[in-house]
Amino acid sequence: MLKKVVLCMLAGAVLMGSCLAAPEVPAPSCLLMDYSTGMVLYEKNAEQRHLIASTTKILTALVVLEKASDLDVSVTIPADWQGVEGSSMYLEPGDVVTIRGLLYGLMLNSGNDAATVLASAVAGDEATFVSWMNDYAARIGMNDSHFSNPHGLDAEDHYSTAHDMARLMIRAMQNETFCQIGHTRHIEIDGFDLYFHNKLLNLYEYCVNGKTGYTAAAGRTLVTAAEKDGHQLVAVTLNAPDDWNDHISLFEYGFSLYSPQELVQKGQRM
């Protein structure tokens, strides 16, 4: 019984202090989650299934990081390479790129070409890789999600929810290599000059990671993480025209909920 009382006191202390009013986020589907506890701090239609565009690549990166034994193995782009529509790191036939370089192209340039090459290089074929993606999603509790490709281009059976994408981002933030790549603004690697698409890294000082996405059908999708005074939060917006400002509003609200409180002094028993 004492343990339960202490836990309640701790929870109450964490969410005390002078907090902002809950924001009115225009995004039709969104969620703000505490990284360390998984507590939902704000949500709006967070269980609705949506197309998620290139935020898919968070999962693609995690599956590669789980399955690839050596990120510095080189991959040669085949002579009959036709490319992939949409955003690209601009791979050409004959290019030699490491798995690590492809991961940067995947996350910074949002390369659909990088996603396709990674899938085949790591799994042998795209279908096998996609099955790994769905296995991974199921393993971490993404019960309202299904993936049909590694890049996020629209497909009827390719969807997720704001809640599931927050779960995914929390898992991603536990991977040191993912954190390093997602926080990078610019890198020259394997002969490629790559720049980030996640402008929130510049717009919001506490943003530490994230992935953008867009198709005409999905709209603007965005999954980001921010850290302030040791607190980490994850935000997701789906089909949100004003996603940068939505995320800033969500993070500012979330961080305002946290205020350090003295529960017990050193040496004092509760």
Could you list the active site residues?
54, 57, 110
Residue 36 — φ and ψ, nearest 5°? -75, -30
In 245-263, which positions are buried (b, 16+ CB within 10 angstroms) versus exposed (e)?
Answer: bbbbbbbebbbebbeeeee
80 Cβ contact partners less than 8 Å away, ≥ 6 residues apart: 93
Helix 126-139 with 112-123: angle, nearest 10 deg = 90
Closest CA to 168 of 58, 246, 68: 58
Alpha helices in the chain (DSSP H): 2-14, 57-67, 99-107, 112-123, 126-139, 162-172, 176-182, 200-203, 243-256
b/e sequence 81-104, b meaning 16+ C-beta within 10 Å = beebebbebebeeebebbbbbbbb
3-state secondary structure string across 243-260: HHHHHHHHHHHHHHCCCC
236 forms beta bridges with 31, 223
